[in-house]
Amino acid sequence: MAINIKESEEIVEDVLSIYPEKPRKNRQEHIGVNKKDACGSCVAKSNLKSLPGVMTPRGCAYAGSKGVVWGPVKDVINISHGPIGCGHYSWGTRRNLANGVPGVENFMPFQFTTDFRERDIVFGGDKKLEQAIHELKGLFPTTKGFVVESECPIGLIGDDIEAVAKKTSADLNTTVIPVRCEGFRGVSQSLGHHIANDSIRDYVVGSGKLDDSQKTKYDVAILGDYNIGGDVWASMKVITEMGLNVIAHWSGDGSIEEMRITHEVNYILLHCYRSMNYISNYYNEKYGIPWIEYNFFGPTKIKESIRKIAALFDEHIQEQSEKVIEKYEPKMQAVIDKYRPRLEGKKVMILVGGLRPRHIVGAYEDLGMQVVSAAYEFAHDDDYERTTKQLEDGAIIADDLNEHEFIELAHRLKPDLVASGIKEKYVFQKMGIPFRQMHSWDYSGPYHGYDGFEIFAKDMDLAINSPSWKFVKPSWKK
Amino acid sequence: MAKMTKEEVRQTKDWMKTEEYKELNFQRKSIVINPERACQPLGAVLCSAGFEGTMPFIHGSHGCVAYYRNNLSRHFREPIAAVSTSLTEDGAVFGGQANGFEGFKNCLNLYKPKMFAISTTCMTEVIGDDLGAIVNNARAKGFLPEDVPAPYANTPSFVGSHIDGYDNMLAAIIDTLGVKSESVSDVINIIPGFDTTTGNINEIKRLLTIMKVPYLVIADYSNTLDSPLNGEYKLYNEGATTLEDTKNCVNNKATIALQKFSTKKTLALLADKFKQEAKAVKSPVGIQFTDEFLMKVSEITGKEIPKEIEDERGRAVDSMTDAQQYIHGKKFAIFGDPDILTGLTSYLLEMGGIPKYVLCSNGNEEFKNDVEALLKEYGCDEGEVYIDKDLWHLHSLVMTGPVDMLIGPSHGKFVAREAGVPHIRLGYPIFDRVNIHRYPFYAYSGVINLTTWIVNKFIEIADETSDDAHFELLR
């Protein structure tokens, strides 16, 4: 059923009416009603400061650098540089799966921190950092390098982690990368992505070499896939079957060794535009490598993406790609036949980070579901430009949607499913509304690729159609 | 760099299990690896969740608050409310007062808290923001109404751990709200401490009810963080400690804290400023410490320990003697917060178990002495206590001197897997098992639960690993 634009506008106005004038003016600019031909920033302004004192869903630059971009690189040691908390909270909580023997080839299950105490704040922590890197090199000699992620105090006390990185790098003949991702920088995780991208640019890009004999004309890199629940493996399966050769994937199940040779590829395939467009652009500027965005959520978008990617290559790849589509279409149809009747017409509200609120829409639509609102934590104008085209007219689009607004919208939109994060999950479940965590795939996944869609469909069905929801109201009150 | 061969990988891995590696590992001074320790503001948020209509208000970046909310939500599988002043770079330069004012205003408008529980982050501690001044100025300028209390605590992440944050916040709340009167009530205060097992709090309340002891749990989140699903989301759940009760709690007969390391400052405040009898008991884990707790309650209130509880105790002892053969002589590595570890050590010793490694990332010398005294009492000379050590130290310990089981929070699972031994989840955080926090490990019920979890795990392993001949019906 089409969404009534006027009704949506009234809902937004109603939800915002609780605010006094000043915050209302602020929030009005961030929440709008979609029209496919509207410019993104006309619908929602973005990448601006959050209101103090409200429950914003946003995280910080450290979360963007360590949690998102660098954290999943498995063969380096990520050092949470500063006090104990940040490293603790980002320890194993993002489900970036990685192969490799823990402690030797894979440092994902670890939490390394310089654990700042008062004396470090007073006297500075550069010496401690230097010693920490030496100690780590002794304990984990197989590590391919160190990434030092600064927490808030580092930037405030004036430590020179760049100098420490330079010195330890020379002393130990290894890579040490300083990342200035103090949590107070920027307005959300997003600046942390950018800062991490810049550190990759400055310390990694072009530093390796792929032997000519190993190169093919089909070499590609996958960027912006974090292997949540095995996403990148499901994506690679499709891309490999197309006949392409994945030389590197960032940063899910990723390695710095692969990052070093990424400049040798012919194309960059970019999944999460928000977190890795910066480095993709750099590859394009410096090496002339084109990058292309793709979307591997749901068969419709996967098919479109396969063809879009195949068009970059020769007939051989294009033929292979059609075969891939042909091979999976009956399987996907079977999934749709099974689940669509159970999900047809169900309404979804989304609040996730910087990509999925638009990218996952097609997968819901493949199941006959309707996205009635899509909100981002930390998107920018260019994300909203892409979003307006993906959503139906009348869908509500929101930036930095806070908990109050989210709940109030839900009261009015009456969704059958809310798709967001852990902070939001239990709020909506208490309301009796089925929910799926769409950062972590709610401990399931993968959701990417053809294999992922089957799991996605099953998960949406079990969330919405679980018999347990029938018991929210006591039998004697029904 | 050439890729490592499988043999090289194996050799490196094997080296990490050696005495030589352990020695190297224990020499490190500047890097902490897999600590079971979070930061102060997390504890402040937990404490705040135990008070009626209270919004945790954290002065700093919203990134910190996202982390506390995520972390607590994953453990309790409940919504966690908290706001920040959303400070950014300009706040670091100009101070955070303006954001504080705006934060109060926005929060009052949207969430209508009855109280703000204000804590700090690294950032606002380093830039030296003065919370007292911000609160006073906010009141003077009308951003903060007089009838909304706003206790504040300094909770720098570079000092102590989550248990200290809990203590600092609680002390601030009682200090701010408490009003001393002439009369003393019969009520006794119970302070759970940083205990994320809602089942424990419920268990203590149940026992006090049986004893007909009038009590007040201070910072009671047993309902707010275990709220019913009934189709309605409540930002402030029912059942938290009321502000009125908190105001009067300083006039109650006495305070018993169920943890000592997470309540030191609070107990000192109650004793020194409010002249109340305020003491910590050993966390009532196992028979002995539960007995002591009940005797303490009885001593303070004059109420006898009724037969009903004596029978419960008898059932717990019965469950122990029925099952002790499966624990006797078994070696355990236990880790987590200090008070829980002291209690757990006592329970394991009562069962004839050997707490071979008691490792605490946030314990001090006093904790070490407490546990060592227990080990000595039971003549257990195999037990070793480690403070200010992390789970990578534990890895070395377990790899060089094996144990039969790990008990502690979820993060221990990586060590347990390497060692090939079972891991019973206990404490904070538990991210990978459901409902554990709803089951008490305190008091006599807790004895039965601990025994059930530990013993059945050993029996399951016996079943899973035995050959056909030894796959027996009787265990």
Summarised one tens digit per residue, pLDDT across range B19-51 is 999 999 999 999 999 999 999 999 999 999 999
Same domain, A170 and A240: no
Shortest Cα distance from B124 to chain A (angstroms)?
Answer: 9
Chain segment B366-421, per-residue pLDDT in tens = 999 999 999 999 999 999 999 999 999 999 999 999 999 999 999 999 999 999 99
Q: What is the pLDDT of residue A155?
A: 96
- Confirm whether A375 is domain-assigned: no
- Confirm whether A396 is domain-assigned: no
Q: Which of A315, A69, A294, A56 is nearest to A197 (CA)?
A: A69
Same domain, A161 and A124: yes
Whether B21 contacts B44, CB under 8 Å = no
Residue B119 forms contact with A (CB below 8 Å): no
Q: Do A53 and B85 touch (CB under 8 A)?
A: yes
Same domain, A218 and A170: no
Chain segment A74-100, per-residue pLDDT in tens = 999 999 999 999 999 999 999 999 999
Same domain, A102 and A217: no
pLDDT averaged over chain B? 97
Same domain, A175 and A81: yes
A369/B75 Cα distance (integer angstroms): 31
- Token duo for residue B320: 């122990």
Q: How far apart are the first and last CA of chain A?
A: 29
B125/A218 Cα distance (integer angstroms): 53
Q: What is the pLDDT of residue B92?
A: 86
Rounded to an integer, the average pLDDT of A50-66 is 98
Q: Do A139 and B21 touch (CB under 8 A)?
A: yes
Q: What is the pLDDT of residue A19?
A: 97
Whether A376 contacts A46, CB under 8 Å = yes
Chain segment B247-261, per-residue pLDDT in tens = 999 999 999 999 999
Q: E strands within A232-385? A: 245-251, 267-270, 291-293, 347-352, 370-376
Whether B442 contacts B197, CB under 8 Å = yes
Taking only residues 226 to 265 of chain B, the set having a beta carbon closer than 8 angstroms to any beta carbon of chain A reads: 227, 229-234
Rounded to an integer, the average pLDDT of A315-333 is 98
- Confirm whether A66 is domain-assigned: yes
- Confirm whether A417 is domain-assigned: no
- Confirm whether A139 is domain-assigned: yes
In this model, does residue A383 exceed pLDDT 60?
A: yes
- Confirm whether A433 is domain-assigned: no
- Cα–Cα distances (Å) from B463 to A125, B182, B330, in that order, read 52, 64, 18
Among A23, A89, A402, the residue with its CB nearest the CB of B71 is A89
From chain A, the residues in CB contact with B411 under 8 A are 91-92, 111
Count of other CB atoms within 10 angstroms of residue A120: 23
Q: What is the pLDDT of residue A478?
A: 81
Chain segment A119-166, per-residue pLDDT in tens = 999 999 999 999 999 999 999 999 999 999 999 999 999 999 999 999
Chain segment B57-110, per-residue pLDDT in tens = 999 999 999 999 999 999 999 999 999 999 999 998 899 999 999 999 999 999
Q: What is the pLDDT of residue B3?
A: 77
CB neighbour class for A281 (10 Å; exposed up to 12, middle 13-18, buried from 19): middle
Size of interface A-B (CB pairs under 8 A): 252
Taking only residues 25 to 54 of chain A, the set having a beta carbon closer than 8 angstroms to any beta carbon of chain B reads: 49-54
Q: Give the domain-ending residue among A302, A319, A336.
A: A319
Q: What is the pLDDT of residue A456?
A: 98
Decide: helix, strand or coil at residue B115: strand
Q: Do A84 and B78 touch (CB under 8 A)?
A: no
In this model, does residue B2 exceed pLDDT 70?
A: no
From chain A, the residues in CB contact with B104 under 8 A are 53
Find the residue in A nearest to B67 (Cα). A89
- Confirm whether A154 is domain-assigned: yes
Partners of B59 in the β-ladder: B120
Shortest Cα distance from B324 to chain A (angstroms)?
Answer: 35
Same domain, A262 and A158: no
Rounded to an integer, the average pLDDT of A193-219 is 97
Same domain, A127 and A224: no
Q: Do B157 and A85 touch (CB under 8 A)?
A: yes
Same domain, A178 and A222: no
> Is the predicted ipTM greater than 0.95, yes or no?
yes
Residue B95 forms contact with A (CB below 8 Å): no
Among A53, A105, A128, the residue with its CB nearest the CB of B105 is A53
Q: Which of A52, A216, A18, A281 is nearest to B134 (CA)?
A: A52
Residue B82 forms contact with A (CB below 8 Å): yes
What's the structural domain count of chain A? 2
- Token duo for residue B42: 């997390």
Q: Which of A99, A91, A96 is nearest to A445 (CA)?
A: A96
Q: Which of A59, A64, A47, A286 is nearest to A179 (CA)?
A: A64
pTM score, two decimals?
Answer: 0.98
Least confident of A38-42, B19-23, B216-220: A38-42
Q: Give the domain-ending residue among A186, A202, A235.
A: A186
Same domain, A178 and A229: no
User: Domains (ranges, CATH) in chain B?
Assistant: 40-177 (3.40.50.1980), 188-307 (3.40.50.1980), 323-468 (3.40.50.1980)
Find the residue in B nearest to A103 (Cα). B13
pLDDT averaged over chain A? 97
Q: Do A55 and B82 touch (CB under 8 A)?
A: yes
- Cα–Cα distances (Å) from B168 to A116, B172, B265, B266, B278, in that order, read 20, 6, 7, 7, 16
Same domain, A182 and A216: no
Count of other CB atoms within 10 angstroms of residue A322: 15
From chain A, the residues in CB contact with B26 under 8 A are none
> Could you say which DSSP state residue B273 is in?
T
Shortest Cα distance from A400 to chain B (angstroms)?
Answer: 12
Whether A271 contacts A277, CB under 8 Å = no
Same domain, A249 and A170: no
Question: For residue A242, what are the domain limits?
Answer: 212-319
Q: Which of A430, A437, A472, A475 to mutate to test the interface with B (most CBs of B within 10 A)?
A: A430
Q: Do B157 and A83 touch (CB under 8 A)?
A: yes
Q: What distance lies between CA A275 and its chain's CA centroid?
A: 7
A376/A189 Cα distance (integer angstroms): 12
Taking only residues 142 to 201 of chain B, the set having a beta carbon closer than 8 angstroms to any beta carbon of chain A reads: 156-159, 161
- Token duo for residue B445: 């019920």
In this model, does residue B12 exceed pLDDT 90?
A: yes
User: Which residue carries 């089942």 as its tokens?
Assistant: B199
* Cβ-Cβ contacts under 8 Å for B372 (sequence gap 6 or more): B383, B385
- Confirm whether A394 is domain-assigned: no
Residue B37 forms contact with A (CB below 8 Å): yes
The CATH number for A315's domain is: 3.40.50.1980
Q: Give the domain-ending residue among A319, A339, A364.
A: A319
Same domain, A311 and A236: yes
Among B16, B159, B232, the residue with its CB nearest the CB of A118 is B159
Among candidate residues B9, B126, B179, B184, the one labeled active-site is: B126
Continuous segment of H or E residues that includes residue A368: none
Q: According to DSSP H, which parts of B129-178 are helical?
A: 131-140, 162-177
Q: What is the pLDDT of residue A1?
A: 79
- Token duo for residue B356: 């071979």
Percent of chain B clearing pLDDT 90 (strictly above)? 99
Find the residue in B nearest to A260 (Cα). B1
Residue B58 forms contact with A (CB below 8 Å): no
Q: Which of B75, B393, B71, B97 is nearest to A88 (CA)?
A: B71
B147/B114 Cα distance (integer angstroms): 8
Rounded to an integer, the average pLDDT of B453-464 is 98
